[in-house]
Structure formats: structure tokens, C-alpha cells
């Protein structure tokens, strides 16, 4: 038997209904905020992520699916989507059409991580970006949109963790202070954190090692050494979030795992997910586009882990998504009834009633069993007698009642039956 690649999974019905419902709400809400969809390739040049997400990040260092294609190019399955959006923004000269670009994407991302609950090697993200705006009002608007989306899914009580990682202006001296702070405790750091300390000291603050947690807790705080502009950006953002009633918590150690962030970084976590509890990560990336060779263009975005989101989406939303209309089973009893069954199914669909023709074999028993297995609630049986009379037998499979109905009135009859208004 050939099985799915480790860390990947099939999304199958009826669960795919929940995914679709979530995506529909995302599209509706993002549209309300002026965002349009962008779809970038799943494969990108490996260099794109090395120069954006960063050589020393965990993603580039050990999680990327990189391969050489037949033309000798170093290709990556994208591990995230912001770098691809930035590449497209530059390549398609979106800056020239002026103003601010508000975009969103929905799609699969790939990281070679150790699979566990809520962590996959192929996972999906729903993300949004505002490119070309540096004002804290755009940070606020993006976070407000995120909370609008989450509350329309029925979430309540979620809080965003917020921090500022400043800019190059203040980061250099902060990193020196961090290195000075951690250096005497080097032996307490595991190999991963030692590598981070050498290559990318900020990331030690993001250590998942419980032995390092107390050290991190009393490490220097970026918030204490922000340059004046970053500080006022941060404070203005907080004021706007207060005014909008968006709940947040300042998290001075939040740094996030991607190198391109400047100033605002944020994360939303949800309970019920265990260790992998972050459902959203985001931040400002004022240097990303110029680092990739584009014009100096600020930006901010977030990415929602759709797999985790669907896992914890409130029950009400899930039930509603799953309780969608079911098709009416149309069961021809003999081969001669198949033509009439097809034509009846077309009349039903034309009237907006979903129909599923079941040619399961001989006799009414097999077809009905198949319909019940699919949890269908209404069946229409077409047999020889009915063909002669121009009727059909409509069965309510839940109530176990049945009635003979004239074919010309059957659409109306089905429309008035429960569940099919």
C-alpha cells in the first residue's frame, strides 16, 4: 500500500466542508477591508528564503524542502508565503501602480519539521499583507481585521501577544547586550540555542528549551532600548488597539522565527492545541522588499495556521458548516429506470435541489442501504409501476415514511419536505 508522505495528510469530506466555510469567511472579511487575493507559486528559488527568512533561521537552516530541478536550479517548496508575495510585488512592479497594496493568500506551505499534533510537513496558511504602508494605523487595521475574522468564526477570549523588535537603529546594541548576557551561561544552552547565540542571538529569546526559560525570563528587553521612532510607533499602535477594543498583552520576549521582522511582531495562541498553540503569527517587515532588491517599501502581515484554526474552531461554526444540505438520493430500481432517474435528477438540480443518483444494483434494498450509508435523508425510488403511472415513491429515511408522488409535482413536493425548503 502506498501511503501519504510522512507529515502530510488528506483532507476529506465532511471535514473539507469546515475548511471551505472557514475560507469563505476569510475571503468575505478580507474583501471588506480592501484586500485582494494573490496566488504565488508553491515552488520558488531557494535563494528567496535564504535572503528573506534568513540563513540562520530554523526554517532555512533545517526545515526547507530544497531540491535541484532538471535544469540545475535550486528550488524550494515554499515554507511561508510572505517572501513570495514580496518577490511578486517587486517582479510585477506593483509599487508603480502606486499606493498601498492589500493582499491575502490561502495555500499550502512546507516545512521539514518533526510531525506531531498541530505540526505537519505540509500545512496551510491563510495570510494577509499590507504592502507600502509604514503608519502604525496599518498595523492596527491588520490586527483589527484578524480579530474581526476570528470573531466571525465564533472565537472569543483570544488575545494577541505583542512586542516590538525595533529596527537596525537599536538592534545592534541590543544584540550585543544579549550576547553579553547569555555568554556566561553558555553551558546551560543546548546545541540549537548555542548555534542561535552565535548566528542569530535574538532567536535565543524564542528558545523552547525549559532549561533556558529562566535565563530568557530575565534577559534584557528590546522594549527598554527601542529607538524613539520605534517607540512612538509601538505606543501609537497600542493606543489604536485600545480604542478598537482589541485585546492584547505585551510580550517582551516575543521575537518570532523569521529574520525579516522590524518593529511590530505579534502572535495569537489558542487553548486546546497543546504545545503547538500558536494559531497566528505576524509582524512588520520594513526591510524585506529592499533586502530582496526592490524599492524601499514597508509592509506588515500575518499568517494563520489553517490546520490549527480548523482544529479549534468553535463548535457552533463547525456544526453549521457540517450541517449543510444533503442531496436527495434518486434510486432507479431496474436498468430501464436509469434514464428517467437521470432526467429527474436534472430537474431537481435545475430547481436548486442537490441530487445523487444511486445505481447500486438490483432491488430497492441495495440502493436504500447505499443512501443510508451516506446519511442521506430523502430517497426517490423509480420502478416499473411508477414508470407506467408517471409517479415516484418518496421515502423519508429518518421518519421511515413514504408516499407516492406524481412526477410533475415532485420538485415542489421535495422543496416542502423538511430540510429542503
Binding site for ligand AMP (CB under 6 A): 80, 111, 113, 118-120, 123, 125, 257, 278-281, 303, 305, 307-308
Sheet holding 262-269, edge to edge: 36-37, 101-110, 122-131, 299-305, 278-284, 262-269, 160-164, 248-250
The nearer residue to ligand AMP, 50 or 326, going by C-beta atoms, is: 50
Q: Which residues pair with 191 in a beta bridge?
A: none
Residue nearest ligand AMP, CB atom distance: 305
- Shortest gap between Cβ of 309 and ligand AMP (angstroms)? 7
Q: Using the minimum distance from each CB to ligand AMP, give the nearer residue, 8 or 194.
A: 8
Distance, CA of 42 to CA of 79 (rounded, Å): 9
Residue (43 or 360) nearer to ligand AMP, CB: 43
Minimum CB separation of residue 129 from ligand AMP in Å reads: 12
CB of 136 to ligand AMP, least distance (A): 21
- The sheet with strand 74-77 has its strands ordered as 43-45, 74-77, 65-68
Least Cβ distance, residue 313 to ligand AMP (angstroms): 13
Coil, helix or strand at residue 328: strand
Q: Is the peptide bond before 375 cis (omega within 30 degrees of 0)?
A: no
Of the pair 50, 278, the CB lying nearest ligand AMP is at 278
* Sequence-distant (≥ 6) Cβ neighbours of residue 401 within 8 angstroms: 395
Torsion of CA 349, 353, 359, 365, to 10 degrees: -160
Nearer to ligand AMP, 89 or 260 (CB): 260
Nearest-approach distance from CB 89 to ligand AMP, in angstroms = 18
Beta bridge mates, 105:
127
Q: How far is the CB of 125 from ligand AMP (least distance, A)?
A: 5
Report yes or no: 35 and 28 within 8 Å, Cβ to Cβ: no
Amino acid at each position: 500500500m502506498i501511503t501519504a508522505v510522512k507529515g502530510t495528510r488528506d483532507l476529506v469530506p465532511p471535514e473539507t466542508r469546515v475548511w471551505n466555510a472557514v475560507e469563505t469567511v476569510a475571503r468575505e472579511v478580507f474583501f471588506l477591508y480592501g484586500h485582494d487575493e494573490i496566488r504565488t507559486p508553491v515552488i520558488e528559488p531557494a535563494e528567496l528564503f535564504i535572503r528573506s527568512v534568513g540563513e540562520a533561521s530554523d526554517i532555512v537552516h533545517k526545515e526547507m524542502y530544497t531540491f535541484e530541478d532538471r535544469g540545475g536550479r535550486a528550488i524550494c517548496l515554499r515554507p511561508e508565503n510572505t517572501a513570495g508575495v514580496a518577490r511578486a510585488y517587486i517582479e510585477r512592479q506593483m509599487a508603480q501602480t502606486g499606493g498601498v497594496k492589500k493582499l491575502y493568500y490561502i495555500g499550502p506551505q512546507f516545512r521539514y519539521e518533526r510531525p506531531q499534533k498541530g505540526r505537519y510537513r505540509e500545512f496551510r496558511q491563510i495570510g494577509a499583507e499590507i504592502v507600502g504602508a509604514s503608519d502604525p494605523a496599518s498595523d492596527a487595521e491588520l490586527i483589527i481585521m484578524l480579530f474581526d475574522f476570528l470573531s466571525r468564526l465564533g472565537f472569543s477570549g483570544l488575545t494577541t501577544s505583542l512586542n516590538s523588535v525595533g529596527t537596525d537603529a537599536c538592534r545592534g546594541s541590543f544584540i550585543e547586550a544579549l550576547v553579553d548576557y547569555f555568554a556566561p551561561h553558555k553551558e546551560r544552552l543546548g546545541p540549537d540555542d548555542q548555534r542561535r547565540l552565535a548566528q542569530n542571538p535574538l532567536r535565543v529569546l524564542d528558545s523552547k528549551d525549559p532549561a533556558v526559560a529562566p535565563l530568557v525570563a530575565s534577559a534584557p528587553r528590546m522594549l527598554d532600548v527601542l529607538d524613539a521612532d520605534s517607540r512612538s510607533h509601538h505606543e501609537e499602535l497600542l493606543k489604536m488597539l485600545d480604542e478598537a477594543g482589541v485585546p492584547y498583552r505585551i510580550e517582551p520576549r516575543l521575537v518570532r522565527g523569521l529574520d525579516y521582522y522590524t518593529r511590530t511582531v505579534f502572535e495569537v495562541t489558542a487553548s486546546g492545541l497543546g504545545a503547538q498553540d500558536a494559531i497566528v503569527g505576524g509582524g512588520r517587515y520594513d526591510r524585506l522588499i529592499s533586502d530582496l532588491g526592490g524599492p524601499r517599501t514597508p509592509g506588515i502581515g500575518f499568517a494563520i495556521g489553517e490546520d490549527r484554526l480548523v482544529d479549534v474552531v468553535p463548535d457552533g461554526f463547525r456544526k453549521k458548516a457540517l450541517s449543510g444540505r444533503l442531496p436527495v438520493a434518486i434510486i432507479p430500481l431496474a436498468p430501464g429506470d436509469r434514464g428517467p432517474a437521470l432526467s429527474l435528477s436534472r430537474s431537481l438540480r435545475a430547481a436548486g435541489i442537490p441530487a445523487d443518483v444511486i445505481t447500486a444494483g438490483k432491488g430497492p434494498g441495495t440502493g436504500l442501504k447505499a443512501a443510508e450509508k451516506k446519511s442521506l435523508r430523502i430517497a426517490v425510488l423509480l420502478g416499473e409501476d411508477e414508470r407506467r403511472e408517471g409517479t415516484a415513491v418518496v421515502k423519508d429515511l429518518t421518519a421511515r415514511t413514504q408516499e407516492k408522488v406524481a412526477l410533475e409535482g415532485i420538485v415542489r413536493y421535495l422543496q416542502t419536505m423538511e430540510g429542503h425548503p
